[in-house]
Amino acid sequence: MKVVLFCGGRGQRMRGEDDATPKPMVMIGNRPLLWHVMRYYAHFGFTDFVLCLGYGAAAVKDYFLRYDETQSNDFSLANGRDIQLFSTDITNWHITFIDTGPNSTVGERLMRVREQVADEPVFLANYADTLTDADLPTLIDRFRRGSATASLLAVPPASTHHVVHLATSGAVTGIQPVRELAQWENGGYFIFRPEIFDVLWPGEDLVPHALDRLIPSGGVLAQRHTGFWRAVDTFKDRAELVDMYQRGACPWMLWNRRQPVLTAGRVLVTG
């Protein structure tokens, strides 16, 4: 099952005007944001990626062409140059790089990689700037058991602001965190059937235009997730993730979680 990732963002709200780094390549620890998203999918065995490139395409290509496995894996060094890796990140990944234009909408980017997923009865797609700990196999299984054309992750509002409830007179009758409202946001982590291409039109976007066409017939499935989810849109978002990474509190890094295993009466920790 292929994974289509939309990698055309500029990320101007999370960096200075003189920083030309494309949004997917902003660093979280010693790896870029895009790597964290891809590593999440790879954790579940999905390692065939189609990158929809836009702004900063050369930076994305160069990163993977020059990829250094020693940056995130243990290894031994002999004779000053002979490297033996104890584990690897991307050795078994297949990555297709498609330039989908610097100013394309997400819907247009998806249209331009249609032939890359032509043989897929179901494929995955996502923004390159959102992290989660959602159980992907469960999402896929629920989608496959239904007849919807598209599935998206529905998450509570991410805003830390508060809603003010007012009386007609203007008196405040209550203050409530936005996250407590009975509302859900589009969290990405899409799952599609090929019929999604029937509702994608040039010059329009995936959300809301294409999905709006599917909604009347029940063609869009929302899968609620109240666990960890974070969109990295601003400098503050990135700073919070970097802080979490430095503290070792990274819910999205499922591949680093250690699982207790009971064997011969003893508890071992693996990971």
Which domains does the chain carry? Answer: 2-156+183-270 (3.90.550.10)
Distance CA 9, CA 1 (A): 24
Q: How confident is the model at residue 90 (pLDDT cuts 50, 70, 90)?
A: confident
Residue type, position 55, single letter: Y
Q: Is 69 exposed, middle or buried (0-12, 13-18, 19+ CB in 10 A)?
A: middle
CA quadruple 221, 224, 227, 230: dihedral sign:
positive
- Residue 85 has a pLDDT of 86
Neighbouring CB atoms inside 10 A of 175's CB total: 9
Q: What residue spans of 57-202 are helical by DSSP H?
A: 57-65, 106-112, 136-144
Give CA–CA dist 97/56, Å, rounded.
12
Asked which of 50-54, 117-121, 167-171 is least confident by mean pLDDT, the reply is 167-171
pLDDT at 218 over 90: yes
- Pairwise CA distance, residues 238 & 230, whole Å: 10
User: Alpha-carbon distance 97 to 49, whole Å?
Assistant: 9
The answer to whether 43 and 29 have CB atoms below 8 angstroms apart is no
Helix count and strand count (H, E) for the chain:
6, 18
How is residue 227 annotated by DSSP? S
Label residue 119 left, alpha or beta by phi (over 0 means left) and psi (-120 to 50 means alpha).
alpha
Instruction: Name the H helices within the chain.
Output: 33-43, 57-65, 106-112, 136-144, 211-214, 235-247
Distance CA 222, CA 100 (A): 27
Question: Model confidence over 30-86: pLDDT tens digits?
Answer: 999 999 999 999 999 999 999 999 999 999 999 999 998 888 888 899 987 888 989
Q: pLDDT at residue 267 above 80?
A: no
* Degrees, nearest 5: CA angle 120-187-59: 70
Tell me how far CA of residue 70 lies from CA of 28, 74, 80, 94, 99, in angstroms.
17, 7, 14, 19, 28
pTM passes above 0.85:
yes
Measure the CA–CA gap between 151 and 206, rounded to whole angstroms. 12
Q: Average model confidence (pLDDT) for the chain?
A: 89
| Pick from 44-53, 214-223, 261-270: least confident | 261-270
217 CB-near residues (< 8 Å, 6+ apart)? none
